[in-house]
Amino acid sequence: MASKAQRMPRGLRIATSIFIIVWFFLAAFPFFWTLWGSFKVELDFFSIADWTNSLTGERTVAEHGSPFTGRGYEGAWIQEEFWRNVINTFIVCFFVVTISLTIGTLGGYALSRSTYNYTFWLLITALIFRAMPPITLVSGYLLPFFEWNVWGILPTTIIVLVAINQPFTLWMLHSFFKNIPKELDESAKVDGCNQFQAFRRVIIPIMWPGVITTGLFSFLLAYNDFAVTAMLLSESNRTMVPAIAAFLGTTQTEGNVMFAVAAVVSATVPLFILVMFFQRQIVSGLTAGAVKG
Amino acid sequence: MRHKTFLWFFLPTGAAMILFIFMPIISVLMQSVYAPHEAVLEEVENCVPLVGCTIETKINQDATAALREAEPLGRFVGLEIYKDRGHLATEEVKAAWAESETWGEFREKLTNLPFYRAMGFTLTFIIFVTPLGIILGLAIALAVNSLHRHLKGLMIFFSLLPMIVTPLIGSLVLFWMIDSRGIIGSALVGLVGDPNFSLKASTGLMWVALIVYGIWHAAPFGFVVFYAGLQTLPKDQLESAQIDGATRWQQIRYVVIPHLMPLVTFVGLIQLMDNFKIFEPIVGFQASAHATSLSWIIYNDMSGETRQLSAASATSVLTILGVAILLSPVLVRTWHDFKGAK
């Protein structure tokens, strides 16, 4: 690949390798460390006496007879009923992704096909909305939601997250639809389709790559949200992230930090799998706005 | 596309944004100029035979409830909430300015006010994290780009993790490691040689920890964008630079970096806005005694038993103004692009 002149001198090659290894370590080690430690007892994971205890699990052996224990997971999933939060998270994510993609593709398609000036102003408004931290909107939600008695339930949170998601979805899908030539829907219209039929029969079959990428980011937004879910969900309807935050408050007094550690590992696993399978889409989504702009 | 067709296509998403973004902004603005009603007081003459009469001041529960029912927004106070001690604290700042002899003293007094304390940390965070995140991202991109094809995929996978993982979870994972009983924390204790040494106890160290988290979280975004930019590097320019005898560093300095410059601006602007919103790490690191941000103040005002919606709203409006200022260069640029495209 690299021409001879491009090949690095030995010293630089070594320096680069060291740098890459250090970064790899920084990026990956914390997760593996926490995963390993989540199967230990608290005195091993947080060992005052000797840090090698967290590797060998000396206390864990003393307490449970083997260097690995599922006690943290048992405590989190069964005792603290973390499975409810997991189910809630997946309900929220599923509906947020489907609804925001459905209404987002319609809007994004319209924005990419209309030639009037107002599309620009709509996109600018969306950009401003996108830049606002979601938490600044929350105090605006609370009073009306209390008034209408819809605070604390999942559907409210889903709709709010869909709306917060829309500006981003619109931008992403708009730039994606821009790359699909207009001639395609023009010719469908010549053949007697109206705008919606052209969208349905011509655009939908070829839009999947862009929709999948956008869907991934919608999923991440809903999955990673803390500000909205923490403020808008009642205790019994919590999703994973606010539940973990609540764990910190309750478990530390009871000496059950390991429940929180196990919950954190459980919540990271789906993200690992997601990045593993959709790495290419995530990279292309992140760079879509940048390289072209 | 005709106006009517456009309207139908855009209606669902437009309605969602109007109802749940635009209206809440209006609602936040309204709440920030209204304060909750004070309790209605009444004077009751309390007469006990033989002792005499005393006048007591009591809360009239019914009247208070009725008033709150009639005007749920509260009483109009104008910009009072913005000027109070929890927000811009105009009086306190004036007093501090008048009393302080030196800049240091003035700064000292300002950091006792919640709003300025939060701004102080947020600005420090932005100043360190934005450039360092970009530089680290660029370095990773250059290094990964020189790797073998098979290793690239693996490195991209692991490099994405710090950014993709939920910020609260990422900060907890790091926090448990730097806890004085965690692996890095106890290593530091060993290094310093003081068994009572703790990151959590020192404001300076907590700031460093948050900034390190911020860079860890921000670098992958820069990396991905720069890495994509490196794939479109002008090969012929690089070759002619080599023929002219440019060293490796000169090639990077005069060909690669100019090529990536628009991306640096892009990443910088995005990071600037992101870092301004810093919130989850403060919760995850339990750092609120040492470092706060505007988002954290809003969260703190709203959670707990007494939801201080007026205070939270005023801080929200100030945050939105801050974001708007940071966003203005992007808007100007989009406007120029739009005009150029026409």
With contacts defined as CB-CB under 8 Å, which chain A residues touch B159? Answer: 23, 27
Domain assignment of residue A226, yes or no: yes
Pick the CATH number of B105-288 from 1.10.3720.10, 3.30.2130.10, 3.60.15.10, 3.40.50.1000: 1.10.3720.10
Whether B14 sits inside 8 A of A142 (CB atoms) is: no
Instruction: Please choose, from the candidates B226, B142, B155, B159, the residue with its C-alpha nearest in 3D space to the C-alpha of residue A6.
Output: B142
Whether residues A40 and A173 share a domain: the answer is: no
pLDDT tens string for chain B (342 positions)?
Answer: 788 889 999 999 999 999 999 999 999 999 899 887 777 788 777 787 777 777 777 777 888 788 877 777 778 888 888 988 888 888 888 888 888 888 888 888 888 899 999 999 999 999 999 999 999 999 999 999 888 888 888 999 999 999 999 999 999 999 988 887 778 887 887 788 777 777 778 888 899 999 999 999 999 999 999 998 898 888 888 888 888 888 888 888 888 889 899 889 888 988 988 899 899 999 999 888 899 999 999 999 988 777 788 889 999 999 999 999 988 888 888 788 777 776
What is the torsional sign of CA B146, B149, B151, B156? Answer: positive
Q: Of A27, A50, A75, which marks where a domain is finished?
A: A75
Total domains in chain A come to: 2
The reply to whether A282 touches chain B by the CB within 8 Å rule is yes
Domain ranges within chain B, ordered by starting residue? 40-70, 105-288
Query: What tokens does A103 get?
Result: 């209404």
With contacts defined as CB-CB under 8 Å, which chain B residues touch A226? Answer: 166-168, 279-280, 283
Q: Could you tell me the residue range of the domain that residue A123 belongs to? A: 82-292
Domain assignment of residue A257, yes or no: yes
Domain assignment of residue A87, yes or no: yes
Q: Please tell me which residue of chain A has the smallest CA distance to B218.
A: A27
pLDDT surpasses 60 at A3: no
Query: What tokens does A101 get?
Result: 């993609």
Whether B13 sits inside 8 A of A103 (CB atoms) is: yes
pLDDT surpasses 50 at A2: no
Q: Please tell me which residue of chain A has the smallest CA distance to B233.
A: A291
| Contact (Cβ atoms closer than 8 angstroms) between residue A202 and residue A72 | no
3-class secondary-structure state, position A207: coil
List A residues 214-273 in contact with B (Cβ-Cβ < 8 A): 220, 223-224, 226-227, 230-231, 241, 244-245, 248, 257, 260-261, 264, 267-268, 271-272
Q: Which of B4, B10, B152, B200 to mutate to test the interface with A (most CBs of A within 10 A)?
A: B10
Q: What is the pLDDT of residues A164-223, one digit of tens each?
A: 999 999 988 988 898 888 888 888 888 888 888 888 888 888 888 889 999 999 999 999
Instruction: Please choose, from the candidates B308, B227, B225, the residue with its C-alpha nearest in 3D space to the C-alpha of residue B265.
Output: B225
Element (H, E) at A180: none
pLDDT, residue B342, reads 61
Whether B3 sits inside 8 A of A116 (CB atoms) is: yes
List A residues 78-107 in contact with B (Cβ-Cβ < 8 A): 102-104, 106-107
With contacts defined as CB-CB under 8 Å, which chain A residues touch B338? Answer: 120
Whether residues A51 and A89 share a domain: the answer is: no
Q: What is the pLDDT of residues A73-86, one digit of tens each?
A: 988 898 888 999 99
Distance CA B247, CA B242 (A): 7
Domain assignment of residue A1, yes or no: no
pLDDT surpasses 60 at A1: no
Q: Which of B3, B4, B13 to mutate to test the interface with A (most CBs of A within 10 A)?
A: B13
With contacts defined as CB-CB under 8 Å, which chain A residues touch B262? Answer: 293
3-class secondary-structure state, position A131: helix
pLDDT, residue B48, reads 78
What secondary structure, in 3-state letters, does chain B show?
CCHHHHHHHHHHHHHHHHHHHHHHHHHHHHHHCEECCCCCEEEEEEEECCCEEEEEEEECHHHHHHHHHHCCCCEECCCHHHHCCCCCCHHHHHHHHHHCCCHHHHHHHHCCCHHHHHHHHHHHHHHHHHHHHHHHHHHHHHHHHCCCHHHHHHHHHHHHHHHHCCHHHHHHHHHHHHCCCCHHHHHHHHHHCCCCCCHHHCHHHHHHHHHHHHHHHHHHHHHHHHHHHHHCCCHHHHHHHHHCCCCHHHHHHHHHHHHHHHHHHHHHHHHHHHHHCCCHHHHHCCCCCCCCCHHHHHHHHHCCCCCCHHHHHHHHHHHHHHHHHHHHHHHHHHHHHHHHHC
Q: What is the pLDDT of residues A108-156, one digit of tens each?
A: 999 998 888 888 899 889 988 988 899 999 989 988 898 899 998 999 9
CATH code of the domain covering residue A163: 1.10.3720.10
Whether A230 sits inside 8 A of B159 (CB atoms) is: no
Query: What tokens does A160 get?
Result: 């709010």
Size of interface A-B (CB pairs under 8 A): 277
Neighbouring residues of B77: CB distance < 8 A, sequence distance ≥ 6: B33, B34, B35
List A residues 118-157 in contact with B (Cβ-Cβ < 8 A): 120, 122-129, 131-133, 135-144, 147
CA distance A35 to chain B (A): 10
Domain assignment of residue A58, yes or no: yes
The reply to whether A287 touches chain B by the CB within 8 Å rule is yes
Whether residues A158 and A277 share a domain: the answer is: yes
What is the torsional sign of CA B67, B71, B77, B79? Answer: positive
Whether residues A70 and A97 share a domain: the answer is: no
List A residues 21-80 in contact with B (Cβ-Cβ < 8 A): 23-24, 26-28, 30-31, 33-34, 37, 45-48, 51, 54
pLDDT surpasses 60 at A5: no
Q: Of A38, A59, A75, which marks where a domain is finished?
A: A75
What mean pLDDT comes out for the span A246-270? 82
Whether residues A148 and A261 share a domain: the answer is: yes
CA distance B53 to chain A (A): 43
Among A140, A224, A248, the residue with its CB nearest the CB of B166 is A224
Q: Please tell me which residue of chain A has the smallest CA distance to B153.
A: A279
Q: Of A44, A75, A106, which marks where a domain is finished?
A: A75
| Contact (Cβ atoms closer than 8 angstroms) between residue A85 and residue A239 | yes
Whether residues A14 and A153 share a domain: the answer is: no
ipTM of the complex: 0.90
Domain assignment of residue A2, yes or no: no
The reply to whether A195 touches chain B by the CB within 8 Å rule is yes
pLDDT, residue A106, reads 94
